[in-house]
Amino acid sequence: MEVKMINDRPVKIWASDVEESAMEQIVNLTKLPFLFHHLAIMPDVHAGMGMPIGGVLATVDAVIPNAVGVDIGCGMCAVKTSWRVEEISLDVLRKKIMRGIRKAIPLGKEHHKKAQDENFMPQGHDIDSMTVVSRQYISATKQVGTLGGGNHFIELQRDEEGKLWVMIHSGSRNLGKQVGDYYNRLAATLNERWHSVVNPELRLAFLPLKTKEFNDYWAEMQYCVDFALCNRRLMMERIKEVLADALPGIEFEPMINIAHNYAAWEHHYGKNVIVHRKGATLAREDVVGIIPGSQGTASYIVEGLGNPESFCSCSHGAGRVMSRTKAVQSLSLQDEIKRLDDQGIVHAIRTVHDLEEAAGAYKDIEQVINNELDLVKVKTRLLPIAVIKG
């Protein structure tokens, strides 16, 4: 971990290198008048919208919608099974399991054609009081249990014992985007009206504590975090049904779940503050987390060490080393396909467009993990056997 002083504020960096555009955003964050104590930058850091992904920002009495992002509640879940991978034939893997998952779970921009049972939706929220969620609710009932696109994935994996795991990366779908965009626009409008000292060009408009707008955003953000969990949980249940049909007698351990795009009230350095994790994972002591690699590389089940210097956080994945556009322009489709084929991984990389999420577009997950061994300890290393992308 390296400590830099920027605008007289400490910035603690666990990354081996930080791209110029991400560093510019880090500098901007140090200018915020409500920044608390220091800024923490995880080893998977890369540029985002306003705030870099892989950033952990603690603030005093203010929340920044763009420091959470638009895929509110996006995160990981994983389940260990009783079945050994070596006992699964390639024919069963391809024809029963992979086809079954694709049939059960809409991918990319696809939604369910019919609304799902409301029991699959978040419970205990006052939806009628929410501006965005209330008008998006019906649509959301068709989004729950769907994967989405971009870097979201379903992956079947093998652990060190040869046991089969299922891992899912997904978030709050269009609902989270609608909530994030609405409150970021509202914050920008109000900041202009208040003549805020935060430069609007930084895209870090905020909502102060004890305002109606803060309370409204907080309630809708929490709903999206819960919706994202419901989304992952429903997908996992349907994958388990597919596996149970293909592998009679299979048993499942409890699901591990953790989010990496949200804000939360926490106590750090003697004060209650709002911690924004944008592409960062909670690593409080004994908390079990998930740090996925890129397509075709290892993923990790980890346990937090509760390091206060990172605000008890760690990376959320490998982190991009190049943009989607640059990946398409510079990576070799043949090389990326060969990388997966040589490992015997069932995948769906077929066209140049698929290079957006190829392993070559991401940082080395092994280096990322090595950079944060003071934040987490590794419990399980998982290797992919089959990948489904949105």
Residues catalogued as catalytic = 316
Structure tokens that stand for 375 in this block: 């934040």
Distance CA 365, CA 163 (A): 21
Please, what is the end-to-end C-alpha distance for the chain in angstroms?
35
Alpha-carbon torsion 328, 331, 334, 337, what sign?
negative
Farthest CA pair distance, the chain: 65
Report in angstroms the alpha-carbon separations of 389 from 34, 203, 346, 380. 39, 30, 11, 23
Burial tier of 186 (Cβ tally within 10 Å: 0-12, 13-18, 19+):
middle
Distance CA 295, CA 274 (A): 33
In DSSP terms, which residues pair with 144 in a beta bridge?
none
For 284, other C-beta atoms within 10 Å of its C-beta total 15
C-alpha radius of gyration, the chain, whole number: 21
For 95, other C-beta atoms within 10 Å of its C-beta total 12
Distance CA 276, CA 65 (A): 9
Q: Cα dihedral angle (116, 121, 123, 128), rounded to 10 degrees? A: -80
